[in-house]
Amino acid sequence: MNLVFDILQIIYVITVLSVAAIVISENKNPVKTVSWVLIIVFLPIIGLIWYVLFGQEITKKYTLSKRFYSKLKKRPLDEIGTMEEFAYPRQHASLIHLLKNLDCTPLLGGNDVKIFTHASEKFDHLFSDIEQAEHHIHIDYYIIDDDKISNKLKDALIRKSLQGVEVRLIYDGFGSRRTKKSFFEEMRKAGIECEPFLKFKWNVLARINYRNHRKLIIIDGKIGYIGGMNIADRYIEGFSWGIWRDTHARIEGKGVQGLQSIFFIDWHFVTQTLITSRRYFPVLPKFGDITIQAVNSGPLKEEREIAHGILQAMYDAHKSIFIQTPYFLPPENMIEALQTAAARGVDVRVMTSKNSDMSFVHAAARSYVKQMLQSGVKIYFYRKGFMHSKLMVFDDSLTLLGSANFDARSFEHNFEVEAFVYSNSVAENAKDIFIEDQRYSDKVSLKEWLKRPLLNRFFESLMRLFAPLL
């Protein structure tokens, strides 16, 4: 019996050390490497399973060549030949050039932007736009449930497809895993091209670490929707304990063609088909005076475009930084950027949910509160429901609208999209939304925060060790 036990101990030690050596040799972010080693050493069985699911790098077979990637990203500029000069706040010149250089992201002017904070209003506008579609409808979503609002969308898309409108739909294999195959098959039978993004398979579980978290709709190359609202009833109806508070935007104008480029990058990913036809990038009139860069990021590229853009915006801020996010687990460089901004007199405010749908993530997020408060950052806990909004406002001139949460998963693992909107009027509207939400939020006091039970604080600190992996 002792011999068997000794053999098992030896196998255990060899396995743990071998996996730990593999993790270290992959040259990951040092903080992330330490987190993996800790979980593998102290929770070997759980740690090994967790590493198989979430620690493997995505296969490169889906990677789009740099030449075609650049061609797609620059496609909205083709009919004008050279970059137009659009009006934008000059303090963001460094950010604009950064995003151009990192992601081939053009600056596109002549847009109108409408922000929605109620899902019912967003869907009313969306269905109206779908009914008026003439050439194509492109949809790229993390979650499409099989419920009332999703079936209403399905029926609308089938109706347009039968009228001759091209309809293409991408749904995330993991995010939409609960939706029956028959839901999507019904659309395929009506002529809709419908594809899963990394199809969820139990024998390839490592795929679930890479999720297409985008929420995009492009109609006729001129109207686009981007934000945090998925296609599900809960975004309209909320929970028994409160509303689902989210933010989405409707864009009309040239900026939509930046979103179109991102959709075609995803379409190539799921079908290996490259679409660059001018028919999807029509010549457009001016719909407004708002300038936009549509930025995408994901694990197929070394650059973390959205994270770099946010970091640059923090460095550029002179007056205020307002952040709404459901999950506040910032990487170290962003912690330092927020602390530095607060130290130089910038009004830094972070709003997150008082209650969450993910308890471990929620606990890890709370471990950052003390550090932020001590640096002069103001923290607000939204109490009216679940704060799922991903809204950021810098000074009175830059607004970020999109799908990215304020955490390592969004910045490093997920396929995300953000609209960097350069407009005083949009920023003013976004700040008003934030301030209105403050009415239903509790401002956190450092003195009261430090009085919380020691056990709570210890658990939160423990969960923070795994923040890079959550």
Asked if residue 105 lies in contact with residue 294, where contact means CB atoms within 8 angstroms, the answer is yes
Among the listed residues 129, 220, 266, 396, the single catalytic one is 220
152-173 pLDDT, tens digit per residue, is 999 999 999 999 999 999 999 9
What superfamily in CATH does domain 61-87+110-289 come from? Endonuclease Chain A (3.30.870.10)
Instruction: State residue 2's pLDDT score.
Output: 63
All residues at 6 or more sequence positions from 6 whose CB lies less than 8 Å from its CB, including other chains? none
**Predicted pLDDT of residue 81:** 40
Of the candidates 230, 228, 142, 414, the residue with the CA atom closest to the CA atom of residue 305: 414
The residue annotated as part of the active site, out of 268, 390, 413, 431, is 390
What is d(CA 19, CA 34) in angstroms, rounded to the nearest whole number? 13
- Residue pLDDT, tens place only, 32-55: 555 555 665 555 656 555 555 555
Mean pLDDT computed over 336-346:
97
Per CATH, domain 305-469 is 3.40.120.10: no
pLDDT at 352: 96
Q: Which of 103, 172, 246, 395 is catalytic?
A: 395
Q: What pLDDT, on a 0 to 100 scale, did the predictor assign at position 148?
A: 97
CB neighbours of residue 439 within 10 Å: 7
What's the rounded mean pLDDT across residues 113-119?
98
Which residue has better confidence, 49 or 191?
Answer: 191
Rounded alpha-carbon distances, angstroms, from residue 319 to 316, 336, 395: 10, 17, 5
Q: Is 215 a catalytic residue?
A: yes
Could you give the percent of the chain with pLDDT greater than 90?
63
User: Given 215, 222, 362, 431, which residue is catalytic?
Assistant: 215
Q: Which of 213, 222, 268, 308 is catalytic?
A: 213
Annotated catalytic, 220?
Answer: yes
Query: For the residues of 55-119, what is the DSSP string, one character each?
Result: TSPPPGGGPPPHHHHHHHHHGGGTTTSS-------GGGHHHHHHHHHHH----EEEEEEEEESSH
How confident is the model at residue 408, as a pLDDT?
Answer: 85
Sign of CA dihedral 75, 79, 82, 83: negative
Report the percentage of the chain scoring pLDDT > 70: 78
Rounded mean pLDDT of 377-392? 96
| 432 given a catalytic annotation | no
Q: Which listed residue (138, 222, 388, 413) is catalytic?
A: 388
Virtual torsion, Cα 219, 66, 76, 299, nearest 10 deg: 40
Query: Which amino acid appears at position 258 of this protein?
Result: G
Across the chain, how many H-helices and E-strands are there?
18, 19
Q: Residue 254 is encoded by which pair of tokens? A: 């040239």
Q: In which element (H, E) is residue 418 found?
A: strand 416-422
d(CA 375, CA 383): 24
Rg, C-alpha atoms of the chain: 23
Backbone angles phi, psi at 395, to 5 degrees: 55, -140
Q: Say yes or no to pLDDT of 136 above 90.
A: yes
